[in-house]
Amino acid sequence: MGAKFVSFSQIPNGAIFHLPGDNTVKGQLFVSDTAYHLTLYNKTVLSFSKYDALKAYLPEEIYLFSNGKFNYKKGFLFGLEATSGINHVSSNLSVTYTPNFHGIEYGMNIGSHLNFVDFSAITNWVWLDVSSFTVSGLIKYYPLQTSLRRPYVKASVGHASNSIPNFAGNTTIKNSAVLEFGLGYTFSSKSRTKWYVELTQYNMKINGTFTDNVNTNQGVAPITEFDIWLNRLMLRFGFVFGK
């Protein structure tokens, strides 16, 4: 597996073009004033007018490899990801921009998160299903930009609007912060869609009150205040796609 990975080298000045007739060509690009000259994998040179290219991934936008797969180097990416862990499920939509600056990528996420948390109140055990709408800023760093599989580290800080649908009557919860730190891999592909997998440390604060209207004491409902950091280590899958 490792040998296979090493054998596919990056093609200098690699580019991809979609041409009429549903043709896609990949290779090393040389540009003249009016035409593209593409040296294909079989060493033949294909020349065509710039106006014939229906879609172009130019060398400043991608890293192309000898197996035909590519990674994004610069530009806007849109993404969708799903996360699952103990007592947690979530999904996020992301928009990120890669400025081709030392492997940095930044952007923002909006997400829908569901966390399950339990704690003890007086004479009761409380289970909360905390539903959150999150808006976060994120930054990714790719230390090995030009590799076929690009590892990255990620940090994300955001705001969570929290609610507790099934305990609306006797539980209050405040909005809070949500923090994420991740280590992941983005896989190159031949298509515009790039899959990634990530191990995420997720931290979200929930605080509020639980009023126990059942186990009252002398007619007074005991109130329990909770102030809890949810610390979750989770597995995340997602994909991004460019233009």
Partner 1 sequence: MKKNFIYLASAAILLASCNKNSGTITHTYNKATAQYADINEVRNTAVAAPAKNIQKAGKIYFGNAVLLIGEPNKGIHVFDNSNPSNPVNVSFIDLPYTNEFYVHGNQIYAISHYDLVKINISDLANPVVESRLDNAFGTPIKDNQGRILMGFTYEVVTEEFKLNSPEEEMLRQNNKLYYDYQDKLIPVSEVPSSFIGSGRKEKGTINKIALDNSHVYVVGGEELYTFQENGGSMSKVNEQEIGSDIETIYEEGDYLYVGTKSSMIVVNNSNPSSPTVSGRYTHEVSCDPVLPNGNIAYLTLRSVQADGCNGFVNLLEVIDITNKNNPTKIGDVTMASPYGMTMLDNHLFVGEGNNGISILDVTNASNPVKLVTYTSIKAYDVLKHPSLNDVILVTGNSGLKQYQFNPNTNTLVELSNVDLP
Binding site for partner 1 (CB under 8 A): 85-87, 117, 119-125, 201, 205, 214-219, 222-235
Nearest Cα to 199, choosing from 178, 186, 184? 184
Give least dist CB 187 to partner 1, A. Answer: 17
Residue identified by tokens 């580019």 is 15
User: What is the distance between the alpha carbons of residues 63 and 13, in angstroms, rounded to a whole number?
Assistant: 8
Give least dist CB 211 to partner 1, A. Answer: 11
Question: Measured from the CB atom, is 100 or 224 closer to partner 1?
Answer: 224
Decide: helix, strand or coil at residue 3: helix
Question: Measured from the CB atom, is 60 or 225 closer to partner 1?
Answer: 225
Give least dist CB 224 to partner 1, A. Answer: 6
Give least dist CB 85 to partner 1, A. Answer: 6
Beta carbons within 8 Å of 1's beta carbon, 6+ residues apart: none
Question: Measured from the CB atom, is 16 or 234 closer to partner 1?
Answer: 234
Beta carbons within 8 Å of 213's beta carbon, 6+ residues apart: 169, 170, 221
Question: Measured from the CB atom, is 20 or 219 closer to partner 1?
Answer: 219
